[in-house]
Amino acid sequence: MKLFNVFTGLFVTVLVVSTIASSKIFAVGSFFLPGGVIVFPILFIFNDILTEVYGYAQSRRVIWTGLFCQAFVGIVLAIVTALPPAPFWDGQPAFQRILGFVPRVALAGLMAYFSGEFANSFVLSKMKYLEQGARGLKQGWRFVASTMVGEGVDSIVFMLVAYGSLMKSDLLNTLITLYVVKVLYEIVALPFTVKFSNWVKKIEGVDHIDTPQGTNYNPFSVLFNSRRRKAIENSRV
């Protein structure tokens, strides 16, 4: 897989950047959105491409990699925020005001990301099997449909955990706006997503279709499989 590691690196980078950027809420007229919305929908585009080309199991590996990296960022920033500042450094209030909120955003992001990404990958995988890997309009539709499900789950979980106690009066309005923006993001990017995924298939020589008999859709099976492989390797020594 020539491009798989590249996609993994880009996926994790976008995830970490969107987590930090979401510590800010910006306004577009009367609508309020977290800063991460600028780049976060790219994750679902990557997930669509990964699942479409490599299948659910490989996409699951990337999702878990991103989850651990996001958790690491949240833990590090929480520790750094808690450390006592140097006597000559007067930036602690600003640092705590902005980056001190990131661990909470990271927690919300972990829960939303885990739920939304797996929902997105599951729906796309199932639709591709039912459509026998059809391209064209059906391929585009499964990208959009899976994103609508995944982004819906992600937006609800993220907004409730990250901002539920901070913006009660505007929460529903912001949640709906956030969801609509994310879905429109996918629709606008759809021509590129379809062409790019087909190009990746050509470069990799892979167009995987998950089957009910050959695919374990348990999100945690990647962890169990790793333990099983280690047990087998140890038994051979």
**Average pLDDT, 10 consecutive residues per value, the chain (237 residues):** 91 89 82 84 91 94 90 86 92 84 72 89 95 91 93 85 66 82 90 94 94 90 55 40
- Quote the pLDDT of residue 175: 82
- Quote the pLDDT of residue 232: 34
- Quote the pLDDT of residue 13: 93
Pairing of strands 25-28, 31-34: antiparallel
- Quote the pLDDT of residue 223: 60
How many CB atoms lie under 10 A from the CB of residue 234? 8
- Quote the pLDDT of residue 31: 77
- Quote the pLDDT of residue 47: 92
- Quote the pLDDT of residue 204: 95
**Helix (H), strand (E) at residue 82:** helix 56-82
Unique residue bearing structure tokens 């910006």: 26
Decide: 211 and 129 in contact? Cβ < 8 Å: yes
Class of domain 4-236 as given by CATH? mainly alpha
- 3-state SS assignment for residue 46: helix
- 3-state SS assignment for residue 237: coil
Decide: 63 and 12 in contact? Cβ < 8 Å: no
Decide: 219 and 118 in contact? Cβ < 8 Å: yes
- Quote the pLDDT of residue 237: 40
Taking the C-alpha atoms of residue 149 and residue 118, their distance in angstroms, rounded to an integer, is: 10
| CA quadruple 139, 143, 146, 149: dihedral sign | negative
Taking the C-alpha atoms of residue 118 and residue 8, their distance in angstroms, rounded to an integer, is: 16
- 3-state SS assignment for residue 32: strand
